Structure formats: structure tokens, C-alpha cells
Chains A and B, each alone.
Chain A
Amino acid sequence: MFGLKRDWTVTLPERYFTFEDYEGGEARWCPGCGDHAILTAVQRICRDEQLPPEQVVSVSGIGCSSRFPHYMGTYGFHGLHGRALPVAAGVKARRPELKVWVATGDGDCCSIGAGHWIHAIRYNMDMTVMLFDNAIYGLTKKQTSPTSPKGLSTNTHPRGAWLPPLNPTQATLGFTNVSFVAQTVDWNPVHLHATLKKAYEHKGLSFVRILQRCPTYTDKVFDDLQSDPRKILVLEHERGVPVDPALDRVFPTRQAHDPSDMGAARALAARDDVFAIGLLFQDESCPRYEDFTRRGLDMSVDDKLAGLDAALDRFAL
């Protein structure tokens, strides 16, 4: 307008955040651990989006991955085993403006926290849930987890895990009101970053299963996927995770997939010949529970007191 070269209606934020602003304590994960890549991806997204650190909360349960909040230079809540999601839901219920990242492991989420998992998905509160799936209990030194592959030798099953592994993606796609499900791998930061960014941008609960290598206890568990990239199936769609051209060389196997197709998403999640990475399912029309829980947040203290008085007056003699 009027030859203006820039938009004068936009007010520049006073502050600018660098990568260091999102760094907390020094990460103590083992060298080579895939958690480092996930932490870096989240910190990059926070920086690129210029999220004020005080407006970001990372919440976790118990496990190696649940050290995550300690390493973020933001608010954090290192919760109880299996209780990352209810804590995150509580944060979101009363502070819906905060950006919530949930770090939970395959044991934390899919075993002791499975009940919360189901309902958090149904609540569909706006947060990004990262399932660090390394197929083992690492913090407690190699016990079988719900996603440990059959035959994996662990301290609880020295002769090999007895049962077939739980498929968290398949399970999540079966929960009511699911709105976003994606998969990625920690060893490709380009796709990992793109997937988490897509999840962050989703309005609702975005569930991202990340295959994450544990160099100490399950360093071979994803060998077949790493040594034969054709077993990684990259999902492509204009509404999916943007696929960087740099991935053409790394992951040659592609498939078009419409993320609004729940049937196709479930079929992809069930495949065991390949591991599909990208956006499996998204539906932004799903109701979000914080739209209910935020009611009354704008009430003044006086209004609340008046409301309480009115309620109590009904019991007055």
C-alpha cells in the first residue's frame, strides 16, 4: 500500500530467542542416544517459532526420555511413572495458551500409562506428544517393554521376549477422537524435525511415535531399517509431512497417502514389512477438551466469589 515495502501493521516482538535460550542442563543421555536428536529438533522448532521460553512447558513421566524437561530451558514437569499425559492435560486445562511438549517412553506411555494414554488421545488437548520408542526399559537397565520385539533378550526375558510387540500407532489410531498420528525415526533429523513441526502446528493432540535407538541396550533393534532404507516407507501428501528433497537419496521408497483416510492409515500402521514415516492421520475437526476447561478463565475474582456465594446460598438455612 502506498509503495510501502514492509507491513507496518505488524509489530516486531521486542525479544529474540536463540537456540541457547531453549537449552537447560547438559544432556546426560549416552553418547549416540537418539534422544539427543529429538531434543535438538524440539529446540530448533521453539527457536524458529520464536516461542517465549516462559510460554513453553515440557512434561514427562519416568524413563530415560523423561529427562527431557531438565534439558529444556523452559518450564517443565518431570512427573510420575506413566503420568506425563494427565499432568500435561492439567497444564493445558488451566493454561491453554502455553505450548506443551510431552516426552514419554514406550514403557511410560504404553504400559503403566496406558490408561492415561487412551483418555489423553480422547481429550485431544492441544499438545505435542512424543513417544520415544526404543523398545526397552533403559533407565532400569534393560527390561522388556511393551514394544520390545519378540525374541529380544532382556533381563526379564533372557531367552527372548515371549509376546509380539504392542504397536502404539495402531493402538492410537483405534482410540476415540484421535486427531493426529505420525511416525518418524530419530536417525534422520530432517524428517524428524519436519514431523515434529507438523505436529506442533496441529491444533489438538498430536501423537508422534519416534523410533529411537538406545546405543546401550537395543543398538541392533532397528538395524534392519537402518541398513536397508527401502524398508522405510515415506508417506507423501500435500497435507502430510513435507518431504525434503534431501531425503530422496536416503529413503527411496515412497507412497502417496491421504492423511484424512483413517482406513488407509490403520492399514499402513499394521504393516510389518515396512515402517511408514510421515503423517498417517489428521483431523482438525475433532473437539478439544480445553475448549471446555477454559470456560470461566476470564472471570474476575469478584465474579468467582459471587458465583460461589450464589451456589452456597442455595444451601443456606
Chain B
Amino acid sequence: MTAPTDAERRPVAHLPLPAGGADAAALIPVRRFHLAGEPGALAPLPDGAVPAVLADVARAPAPPTDYPVLVDGQGQVHGLDEALAAAAAGMPALLVDNLPRLAQQIRARSGELDERAAAPAVGEAADRLVAQLALKPGPQGELVNALEHLIKALPEGAHLVGLAPDVDLRLLWRTTHAALGARREALVARWTPLAHGLRQRLEVDRHKREGRSAQAVQAANAGGARFFDAGALAQAMGTHRGTEALSDGEREALSQALATLQAPVEAPRLVVVHGGDCQAPWLAGTEAVQVVAAKDPFAEAEALWGAQAAEFARRYQAARYAALVLEDRYEADKHGPWLDAFDAQAFDDDELAALPAVVVVTSDKALARALAPASKALRGHAPVRILCRVTPTADADGPTLDHSHLELGYLGMSHRQALVQQTTVGRAAHLQAALARADAAHRPSLTLVGVAHTIDGSPPPLGAWLHASAGIEGRAHPLFTYDPAAGTHWARRLSCEGNPAPDAHWPTHTVALGTDRLEDWAFTFADQAVLERAYAAHLRVVPEACAAHPDLMPIAEWLAATEDDRAHRVPTVWVMSPQGGLLRAAVSRPLALAAQDRLDFWHTLQELVGVDNAHVQAAIDRTRDDLQAAHAAELAALQAAHAAEVARVERETAQEALGRLAAALTGGAAFNLSAGASAPAPAKTPEAIAETLPAPAADPEPTAAPESAPEPPADPWIESILCTSCNDCINLNGQLFVYNGSKQAMIGDPEAGTFAELVRAAEACPSKCIHPGAPMNPNEPNLDDLIARAAKFN
């Protein structure tokens, strides 16, 4: 039993203590179920049963969720509570106190929310909040005003995004749209001066060819024409000097480059390719999105990206050409062939980033059937992104436990140069970061997104968000990022950030048993399976008669046990019935081994990131042994030196004592041990040392700094927390002095009263918390007297 943390000291739903009593006979059918899968008379789990560690959550008034999230104009995801708190920073306590209620009002409608502009959604929730609270007119006005300010303070272009089945696509669209918009604007900004330069070149050339240069200059200089004769200047300069007109070929090339650079960029920002199973009709009608259905979506995506790259290559080629021409560095022999062969290999990062995002949307089942084309795409040069939706509890073949789980992410990592990520809709910020990482990678990527629905499509018992989160907790869908660009070592390339209990086998949660017993229970893949009706056949209720039998073992312990220990034991999980009763459920062998399989993959990830890694542990052990040996050797050397020194001192002291004794006996030097010539002098005390030192020179008197009277504060102010609410000042001037929300005085309108009133209020104030400051009106009568009276309050 462990002590609860602060977070766990909240009210918990107490579970009844497990039933006692052991009956070996009753255990026989349980063991038969575990080993042979024969349920016999064992009861299935009741409908609505949930893992016991989720008892608190199951009794909550509403299913937990972190949705909707707020997505800002840049595509960044913010938690709703955090976003509201950030927007309400510095606002009245009346609003801050009610932010949880406002969030509750927003969440109350989030069930029907896919995506919506944040400002009107928050506005409607604010109206409902105001109606719910039914405050008195004064505070209600204050709250309404504060809510209006809050809505204005929300991030520009913010949207609320709910946990819809296509939330991954919605976040993908928001992330990509914002990022590509900015990148293309930057590119156009880069091209604008090039286009301007080309236009000037062509204009000059036109003037040369048409011979109207002098007239054109004269016309352009209309205001100062009487001071400057361009025609005379042209004659004086002669016509044979200066630059020559462009050749027809050059003119044509420049004109083409200019037209290319000036043409609007109409390419889509997002191209979604799917194999016919992408259920997001809204995408097809969305601005700058192209949706393509294809038999082989991976090859189609590569082809589409190639086509887009070729189209953009024309623009980038024109830009390169324009830059060379404008810098007078263009040499047709040298640059011509290079520009003719210009393709995506020559794009810089900014240019690559401006290309449309080509995303293959698929599912784990579809991807498992199309491993070869997907693998080709992941090994290719086109930065095709594969967004694969994964049902964490199911295998690629469905809810079967006959094979070890196909780890698509592990398979993806074998491509080495592709970005591979595993994320979930249960962690919106993690998902958005993964999408943004794939967007910035400029290399093929595989993003596996854990979805929130159950295997058989039935409603998740504790809500979609918790179902998705259970995938992470049960190690069915651990989060990881494999980024080949992050470095040459696994330690840099692979990250498992975001997983619960990253150093442990399973995350644990504190469960209250009875009224005073707390235990930490693991949440395993078998616990997660309790939430899936598809696995109902793999769990059976253990009869109460043998529920406490020692041969029953929590599955986390069973998985950690040796084969011998496991042999006669049955793994179990604790579940809570809809009525709140605690039941023990036996786990079938296939499900237990599936849990082992998921744990093994988790261990693999841990080892790859350096947690519980045998090589690392061996290195640690070796280093510790080396250090201990070195330490022991140093200690032995010091002890030997110390023993030698002690022996020497003993020897010399004995000789000296004998010498003195001999001298005394033979009438030599006086025998005075306390004043022995070789005896060490006692150490001096600090006082004695001080006496021997010359007296320090007296410090000169510190020169007193001229004290100037502190300037009184210019503005009047009130130390409100000291105000006794006695009304003295308010009665004096109800505009100059007002009460705050806690009915303590503060300065209202400092121009609504006189300095005399401030001084009188300060004198009357029983807690002396009014500070009149300096007069604002220099013409106020009796100012000298008032300033003198105010001085002691400032």
C-alpha cells in the first residue's frame, strides 16, 4: 500500500473490499476457462462493467474528455481550460471564478460539435452561463462585460474542435492550411522583387527598341522638365554607346519568367488520397483541398506529388533565372542546361515546404493489406505522408488474439529514412505536434493515429476520449516518434515522450478499497480489453467462493512472474459492475498472452530509448564496479598511510619521553612537560591573535549622505486590503472613492474630487490606508496647508 499523492487526495469512490474465503473446488472451472477457454458456468462480465481503476471516472456525472480543444489561427492546439485562462488573464475574479462553469457550458454542447469558430461558440456559452447564474444586475453587468473582453482576447481565427471521428483530418487541415498559407506568402514575397526587376528590364529594353527613351524620360520628369532636357542629353551621349537591346530569345525568356512569377499560385494546399474509405465529405468542399480516390493510393500520392513538384519547379526555375539575370550573372552556356533540368532535387527547404501536402489517409487494416506499395512510398523521395488510423485494441485482422500484434510503427521504423510517429486522438496536442512534424519533415512519413471507437463500433462505455486514452495506458498504442533527422543515434531519433509511467511496465492508479485502504493497481492491456465488447469471451467473473484464492493473481504480477510461477496460477483483473460492486474477472490465456505481446513491444521501445536496456544496465554495473574498486584501493592506501604515520608519531614520542626522563634523572634540563622545548605551542585563540595585531586605524566617521525628503507619490492610492469598509471616505465623495468587489475602498475617478477631500478622507480613515499623494490642481486653495497635512499619510 502506498500513500496517495496530493492529486489523489481528492474524494474517491470507495470500492468494497474483495470478498474473502478460498475454495479450491470453485477454482477448477476458473482454471479451465483460463487454459482451455471453456466458460462453463462462469458468468460473463455484466454489461457496462468497467476496469476497477476507473471507478471514480465511471461515477462522474459526465464522461471525461479533454475536448473540445481550441485551435488557433496558426493551427496550434490549446486545452480549453488553459485557453480560457490565458484569455482571462488579469480580468476580474468574478470571471476567473466562473471559467470552469464557462468551460462546462462549452463542453455541454461539444457532443454535437465537430468544429466551430471559437468566438460565437464561446459567446453562446457565455449567454447560457449568464442565464444560469442569474446574478444581481451589478455583478451581472460586470460579468457580461468581462465575458465580452474574454471573447475578444481569444486567439485570432481560433476554432473549437470536438472529438469527431475525423478529428485527425480536421487538425491536419488546420495545421496544413495555416502553415502553407504563410509559406506561400513568403515565397511570393521573395518573387515580388524579382518580378519587379524583370519588368524594369523589359521596359528599358522596350524603350531602347522603340527609340523613345529621351521622350519617356522627359515625360517621366514632367514636374522638372524645364530644368532638364532629356533629348539634348541623349544626343550628347550618342546612340552608339550604352547597352544593347535584348535579343529576341532573351526577351522571350524574360517575358516567360515574368509571366510565371506573376501567375497566382492556385495549387491546392492539401491533397488527400484514399482508397475509397475516407469518410470526410466536408473535405471535398473545403478551400484549397483536393480529394482523390485511388486503387493504389500510395502510388497515386507519389504521382500527384511529382506532378505538383513539376508545376512548382517551373516557378522556382523562373525565380532562379530571374535572380541570375538581375545580378548579371546569367550565362546561357553554363546555367541553361542546369535550369532546363531543374527539378525537385534542387528545391531548397522553403520551396519544398510550399508544395501541397499530399496525404494518404488509410486504416490499419488497409495498410496491412498494402504493405508493399506503402513500403515503396516510405522509401521514396516524394515526401508523401501516410496518415493511418489504428484501432489500438484490434489486430489488423480484427479482434483476433491468434497472432502477435502487427506493429505497423515498428515496421515503419525499418524504413530508416521515413519519419514514423504513433499518436492518438486522445492527446490532441500530441496529435497536432505529430502532424506539424510530418509537415516540416520534407521526407516520407507514417503517422499512426489511435482512434477513439471500439472494435465493434458500439459506444465506448466511458466515452470516446477515455477509450482513446486507454489505448496509451494499456500499452496497446504507446506514443513514440522516430525522426531520422534528429540525429545519428537511436537516443536522439526515438522518443517515447507522452506515455504514462515511461519507466514502468504498466501505469498504476490508486484505488480506494473500503474506507481506509488504498492500493496501487496497474492498468494493463487486459484491463483495456474490459472496455471492448469484442473481447467479452476472454473474461469471466470469478465465483465469490474463490475470489481470494492465492492461485488467482493480478495480471500485472502474472506477466512479471516466471513460467513456473505462472503454471498453476490464473491471471485476473478487477472490474466494477454498473451497480458499483467489485468483481474479479479471470483472463483467458490468449488475452493474457496478448497482454504479454503488448508489454514486449513496450519493452522494445523502452530499450531503444535507453530505459531498462540490458546494454545500458551492463555499462552502469561495469562503471559502478570500476568506481567501487578504485574507491576501495584509495581507501586502503589512505589507511596504510595513516597507520604508518601513527606508528611514526608513537615511536618518536616514546623516544623523546625517554630522552627527557633520562635527562631529568641525570640532572639535565628541567623536567617540564608543559613547557617542553619540542612541545607544540597551543593554538592561539582569536582574541589572543587579535591582541598581537596592531590596533586598526580608526574608521573615519561615515560621511552622512545628505538626506533629501522622499518625494510623495504623485497619484493618490488606497491600501485596499486594510480598508474597514466604514463608509467615511465613500460618504465624503462617492466618485473619488469607490468600493471594489470585496467592498473595500479604492480610488475611483481621481479627478472627481479635490486634494482637500483626499486629505480629509485620509485623516478620517480609521485604518490609515488612504494616501493622498500630491495635488493635481496647483490652483487649489490652501495647498501648502493641505500638503503639510497629507505628508504623514504619504
Contact = CB atoms under 8 A, between A and B. Distances in A.
A binds B: yes
Contacts of A33: 726
A49 interface: no
A282 B741 CA distance: 32
B138 A20 contact: yes
Interface string B435-457: 00000000000000000000000
B726 A36 contact: yes
Given A9-B56, A43-B743, A187 B724 contact: yes
B101 A189 contact: no
B136 A18 contact: yes
Contacts of B764: 31-32
A214 to B, nearest CB: 11
B500 interface: yes
A5 B79 contact: yes
B466 to A, nearest CB: 6
B351 interface: no
Contacts of A6: 81, 100
Contact of A213 (B500, B744, B766): B766
A22 to B, nearest CB: 10
Contact of A39 (B61, B66, B466, B725): B725
B273 interface: no
B742 A2 contact: no
A301 interface: no
Given A2-B473, A5-B79, A7-B10, A31 B727 contact: yes
B97 interface: yes
A37 B726 contact: yes
A21 interface: yes
A312 B121 CA distance: 66
A192 to B, nearest CB: 8
Contacts of A10: 10-11
B97 A16 contact: yes
Contacts of B466: 2
Contacts of A308: none
A8 B726 contact: no
B515 interface: no
Interface in B557-588: none
Contacts of B97: 16
A310 B100 CA distance: 53
A12 interface: yes
B119 to A, nearest CB: 23
Interface in B441-492: 466, 469-470, 472-473
Interface in A1-30: 1-12, 14-16, 18-21, 27
Interface in B81-117: 81-82, 94, 97-98, 100-101, 104
Contacts of B722: 188-190, 246, 250
Interface string A153-184: 00000000000000000000000000000000
Contacts of A34: 724, 726, 766
A32 B742 contact: no
B66 A20 contact: no
Given A16-B98, A43-B743, A189-B767, A8 B136 contact: no
Contacts of A19: 139, 741-743
A40 B766 contact: no
A186 interface: yes
Contacts of B138: 18, 20
Contacts of A20: 135-136, 138-139
A44 interface: yes
B639 interface: no
B301 to A, nearest CB: 33
Contacts of B726: 31-34, 36-37
A189 B104 CA distance: 35
B493 interface: no
A19 B744 CA distance: 11
Interface in B1-60: 10-13, 53, 56-57, 59-60
Interface in B717-772: 721-728, 731, 741-744, 764, 766-767
Interface string A39-63: 1100110010000000000000000
B133 interface: yes
A47 B723 CA distance: 18
A40 B743 contact: yes
Contacts of B133: 15-16
B62 interface: yes
A6 B57 CA distance: 11
Interface string B503-526: 000000100000000000000000
Given A3-B66, A3-B427, A36-B725, A44 B742 contact: yes
A9 B509 contact: no
A112 to B, nearest CB: 28
B182 to A, nearest CB: 30
Contact of A12 (B79, B100, B727): B100
A229 B648 CA distance: 69
Contacts of A27: 727
Contacts of B66: 3-5
Interface in B117-154: 132-133, 135-136, 138-139
- Give 9 closest A-B pairs by Cβ, nearest first: A37-B724, A40-B725, A18-B139, A8-B60, A8-B64, A2-B469, A36-B725, A36-B726, A20-B136
Given A9-B57, A187-B767, 20 more contacts: A2-B57, A2-B469, A2-B500, A3-B469, A8-B56, A8-B62, A9-B60, A16-B101, A16-B135, A18-B135, A18-B136, A32-B766, A36-B724, A37-B724, A37-B725, A43-B743, A189-B721, A189-B744, A213-B766, A215-B766
15 contacts: A1-B57, A2-B473, A6-B81, A7-B10, A9-B60, A10-B11, A16-B101, A18-B94, A18-B136, A34-B766, A36-B725, A187-B724, A189-B721, A189-B723, A189-B744
Interface of A: 1-12, 14-16, 18-21, 27, 31-34, 36-37, 39-40, 43-44, 47, 186-190, 213, 215, 246, 250
